[in-house]
């Protein structure tokens, strides 16, 4: 079996978990150009090195390396080989994703693995049972376009049952989130390695993701979060390049950024301030069970000064956050203690894109009510941007995202038709106050030639007329100096570029590619477009290779936040899900919690099957305050403190 498989290898080959080099003699020297062999055991590599002669004349490179974080560029190999190694991997799913990442688009991954068979005596000689076992255990690899399958096969549940199951597991997860208050100032602890999700058992994380990926609206919510992050990470390589610069572009086939600038020296999949601040928004909404502007501002401060939610938590070579914008920097100086005002109170009319680029968590949390989503999105802008224009841009995008996430299950309309309908509904909506005049101009998309806002003509396929817009603005616009080759930093410009890219394409990848290749403020325009396209097309429409890159640094926590935000937000508002969160007293908790639901040494079991069959226990009561969550059975869940992790 080994011989038959390995002889199919060709080109530049990577063998994962090479072990003793048992496969060396099977490689075809006429087909294989080179062999790179990795293993996580130095002793095994030494044994393999002694068999080097069996490979001649094929060049051999031996390397001590992790299987789930391979230090190779995307698309480095024509063939990846692994024989009977996955059973020994510490993180098998991540290892499979890494194999998929490092192999070329037209390459091959050759696996020979143990597989359960219904025919025990004959199963080892048949391809079908082993193939079925792989399909059950390794679907994230086999279904490249459906990244959600990484967490297991979709549940076979009716829609109502699926929603109930998703709500139940989400409320359990929410009860385990670390809710300790973050500090500001010179004595604030370093939180670069901290996450509010640290205390969630992996089993609960996987189950939330598995169920959410099968529920259409939750899957779109995850798409908005992941879309924001992957677009930010790609756009970061093109940011600061002048508009129209030849040779600088993102190639969607190879996922390579040609002629990149990469000011912050990021690795593929790492994000900038756009996503980091979005994660801060998400954490605040989840921990506070609703909107708390003061808490959001404290988390923003900890992002920049203490590394909270930056892309380097799992990168030993980096620590400090990157991408602080000028408007945000000014607002952070106003955060003097752990209970600042919920808004950045200033007479400034800042209208940069710093509040719209990070927005997704807010409309996801309030997505059951598009009007509420728009209002809270506008309010979130004021944590860093006091200007009315930036708030108006967030107001519209919040409305769009909520509407995209919750649109009809059977909707088949195109992106262009959906955006047209959304704009029409927005302009007809009975808002408490009229939308900002400049936003209305943008939405009408009817700027004449020579206009200083011609890039707002997002409906024009010949657009977005970035060079013409910059020329018309000259050296100053809205009281600010104009960079002759940089566009998108103004909130309405960034929104218009993202709308244009979404409107004139038919997939997530097309929208993303079109947007970031306009250059300029590519990470932020990309993040805005990624939110829109992710919410519309859903997580499953995002290329699994992009998700795999992100997973290397976030371990699916961006997607997980999207699922938790969507379900917990609806539950706490009592809108579309049946068990709203409600405040209760500690005495009620003690009276309604059954003895069997409290973890004690006497109730623990060594049986894995029994553990899987039971619901996760309610946490031990270590401390309590006035913020509680309720599970689907009506029990109120107290949160364990996470001080030791800070």
Residue bearing the bigger pLDDT, 106 or 372: 372
Q: In angstroms, rounded to a whole number, what is the distance separating the alpha carbons of residues 559 and 538?
A: 11
pLDDT at 181: 82
Residue where a domain stops, chosen among 546, 573, 600:
573
The SS3 call for residue 78 is strand
E-strand ranges in 493-553 read none
Q: What is the pLDDT of residue 455?
A: 98
Q: 97, 112, 142 — which closes off a domain? A: 142
Report the pLDDT value the prediction gives residue 115, as an integer from 0 to 100.
Answer: 53
Q: Which pLDDT belongs to residue 152?
A: 65
Is it the case that residue 432 has pLDDT exceeding 50? Answer: yes
Please check whether residue 523 lies inside any domain of the structure. Answer: yes
76 and 196 in a single domain? The answer is no
**Quick one: 503 and 388 in the same domain?**
yes
Let me know whether 128 and 167 are in one domain.
no
Cα distance between residue 206 and residue 92, in whole Å = 14
Domain end point (choices 573, 594, 609): 573
425 and 302 in a common domain: yes
* Backbone conformation region of residue 350, classed left if phi is above 0, alpha if psi is from -120 to 50, else beta: beta
Residue 134 lies in a domain: yes
Q: Is the residue at 149 inside a domain?
A: no
Q: Following DSSP, what letter does each residue of 428-444 receive, concatenated?
A: HS--SSPPPHHHHHHHH
Rounded to an integer, the average pLDDT of 62-88 is 88
Is 152 part of any domain?
Answer: no
Shared domain check, 215 and 322: yes
Q: For residue 624, give the DSSP letter.
A: -
More confident of the two residues 630 and 252: 252
CATH code of the domain containing 237 = 1.10.4080.10
User: Same domain, yes or no, for 525 and 606?
Assistant: no
Q: Is residue 333 part of a domain?
A: yes
What is the rounded distance in angstroms from the CA atom of residue 63 to the CA atom of residue 40?
9
Q: Using one digit for the tens of pLDDT, what is the confidence trace for 86-114?
A: 877 777 777 888 898 899 877 889 988 76
**Is pLDDT above 50 for 231?**
yes
DSSP E strands, 246-340: 249-251, 256-258
Mean pLDDT computed over 242-257: 94
Q: For the segment 577-609, what is each residue's pLDDT rounded down to a tens digit?
A: 333 333 322 222 222 333 223 222 333 333 333
Q: What is the mean pLDDT of residues 377-381?
A: 98
Peptide bond between residue 573 and the one before it cis (omega within 30 degrees of 0): no
Is the CB of residue 199 less than 8 Å from the CB of residue 477?
A: no
Residues 17 and 68 in one domain: yes
pLDDT tens, residue by residue, 113-167? 765 444 444 444 444 433 333 444 444 444 433 444 456 667 878 888 999 999 9
Sign of torsion, CA 79 81 86 88? negative
Domain that residue 594 falls in: 586-645
209 or 599: whose pLDDT is higher? 209
Structure confidence by residue, pLDDT tens digits, 307-350 = 999 999 999 999 999 999 999 999 999 998 778 999 999 888 88
SS3 category, 423? helix
Q: In this predicted model, which residue has the larger pLDDT, 150 or 562?
A: 562
Query: Both 215 and 305 in a single domain?
Result: yes
pLDDT higher than threshold 50 for residue 575: no
219 and 358 in one domain? yes
Is 248 inside a domain boundary?
no
Residues 163 and 130 occupy one common structural domain: no
pLDDT in the model for residue 118: 44
* Count: domains in the chain: 3
How many angstroms separate the Cα of 318 from the Cα of each of 311, 321, 322, 324, 380?
A: 9, 9, 10, 16, 29
Asked whether residue 477 is domain-assigned, the answer is no
Residues 193 and 92 in one domain: no
Buried b (16+ CB within 10 A) or exposed e, 383-420: bbbbbbbbbbbbbbbbbbbbbbbbbeeeeeeebeebbe
**Residue 470 forms part of a structural domain:** no
Average pLDDT of the residues in 639-643? 32
Give the whole-number percent of the chain exceeding pLDDT 70: 82
**Backbone phi and psi for residue 83, each to the nearest 5 degrees, phi listed first:** -120, 115
The answer on 163 and 133 residing in a single domain is no
- The whole-number average pLDDT for the span 199-228 is 96
What pLDDT, on the 0 to 100 scale, is given for residue 336?
A: 82
Residue 631 has a pLDDT of 34
As a whole number of angstroms, the distance between CA 521 and CA 236 comes to 8
Say yes or no to pLDDT of 8 above 60.
Answer: yes
Residue with more model confidence, 69 or 263: 263
pLDDT, position 219: 96
As given in the structure block, the two tokens for residue 345 are 């109170």
Q: Can you tell me the mean pLDDT for 569-581?
A: 55
Q: What is the CATH number of the domain that holds 129?
A: 3.40.50.150
Looking at residue 175, its pLDDT comes to 93
Contact 557, 197 (CB under 8 A): yes
Identify how many contiguous H helices and E strands the chain contains and give both numbers.
Answer: 24, 11
DSSP lists the bridge partners of residue 342 as none
Res 568 pLDDT > 90:
yes
Mean pLDDT score of the chain: 83
């Amino acid at each position: 079996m080994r011989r038959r498989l390995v002889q199919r290898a060709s080109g530049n080959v990577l063998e994962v978990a090479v072990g003793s080099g048992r496969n060396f003699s099977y490689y075809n020297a006429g087909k294989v150009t080179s062999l790179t062999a990795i293993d996580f055991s130095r002793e095994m590599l030494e044994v393999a090195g002694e068999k080097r002669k069996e490979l001649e004349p094929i060049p051999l490179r031996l390397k001590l390396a992790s299987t789930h974080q391979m230090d190779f560029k995307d698309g480095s190999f024509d063939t990846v080989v692994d024989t009977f190694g996955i059973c020994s991997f510490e993180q098998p799913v991540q290892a499979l994703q890494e194999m998929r990442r490092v192999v070329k688009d037209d390459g091959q991954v050759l696996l020979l693995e143990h597989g359960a068979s219904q025919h025990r005596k004959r199963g080892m000689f048949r391809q079908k049972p082993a193939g079925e076992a792989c399909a059950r255990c390794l679907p994230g690899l086999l279904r490249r376009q459906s990244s959600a399958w990484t967490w297991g096969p979709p549940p076979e549940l009716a829609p109502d049952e699926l929603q109930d199951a998703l709500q139940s597991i989400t409320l359990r997860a929410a009860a385990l989130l670390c809710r300790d208050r973050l500090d500001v100032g010179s004595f604030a602890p370093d939180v670069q390695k901290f996450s509010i999700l640290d205390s969630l058992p992996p089993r609960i994380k996987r189950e939330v993701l598995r169920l959410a990926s099968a529920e259409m609206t939750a899957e779109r919510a995850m798409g908005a979060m992941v879309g924001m992050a992957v677009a930010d990470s790609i756009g970061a390589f093109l940011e600061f390049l002048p508009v129209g610069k030849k040779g600088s572009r993102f190639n969607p086939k190879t996922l390579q950024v040609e002629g990149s600038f990469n000011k912050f020296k990021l690795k593929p999949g790492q994000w900038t301030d756009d996503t980091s601040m979005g994660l801060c928004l998400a954490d605040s909404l989840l921990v506070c069970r609703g909107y708390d502007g003061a808490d959001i501002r404290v988390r923003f401060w900890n992002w920049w000064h203490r590394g909270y939610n930056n892309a380097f938590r799992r990168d030993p070579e980096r620590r400090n956050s990157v991408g602080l914008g000028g408007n945000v920097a000014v607002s952070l100086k106003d955060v003097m203690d752990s209970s600042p005002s919920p808004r950045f109170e200033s007479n400034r009319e800042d209208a940069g894109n710093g509040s719209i680029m990070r927005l997704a968590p807010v409309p996801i949390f309030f997505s059951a009510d598009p009007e509420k989503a728009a209002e809270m999105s506008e309010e979130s802008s004021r944590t860093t941007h006091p200007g009315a224009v930036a708030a108006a841009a967030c107001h519209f995008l919040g409305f769009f995202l909520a509407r995209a996430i919750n649109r009809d299950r059977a909707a088949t309309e195109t992106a262009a038709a959906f955006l047209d309908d959304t704009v029409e509904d927005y302009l007809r909506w009975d808002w408490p106050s009229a939308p900002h005049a400049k936003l209305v101009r943008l939405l009408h998309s009817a700027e004449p030639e020579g206009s200083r806002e011609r890039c707002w003509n997002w409906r024009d396929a010949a657009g977005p007329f970035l060079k013409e817009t910059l020329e018309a603005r000259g050296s100053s616009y809205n009281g600010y100096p104009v960079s002759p080759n940089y566009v998108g930093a103004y909130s309405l410009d960034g929104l218009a570029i993202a709308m244009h890219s979404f409107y004139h394409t038919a997939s997530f990848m097309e929208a993303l590619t079109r947007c970031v290749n306009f250059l300029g403020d590519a990470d932020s325009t990309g993040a805005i477009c990624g939110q829109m396209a992710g919410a519309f097309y859903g997580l499953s429409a995002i290329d699994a290779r992009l998700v795999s890159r992100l997973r290397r640094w976030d371990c699916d926590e961006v997607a997980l936040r999207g699922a938790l935000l969507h379900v917990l937000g609806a539950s706490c508002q009592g809108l579309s899900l049946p068990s709203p969160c409600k405040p209760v007293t500690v005495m009620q908790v003690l009276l309604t919690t059954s003895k069997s639901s409290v973890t004690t040494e006497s109730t623990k079991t060594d049986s894995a099957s029994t553990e899987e069959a039971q619901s996760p226990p309610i946490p031990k009561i270590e401390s309590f305050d006035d913020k509680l969550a309720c599970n689907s059975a009506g029990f109120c869940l107290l949160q364990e403190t996470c001080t030791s992790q800070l």
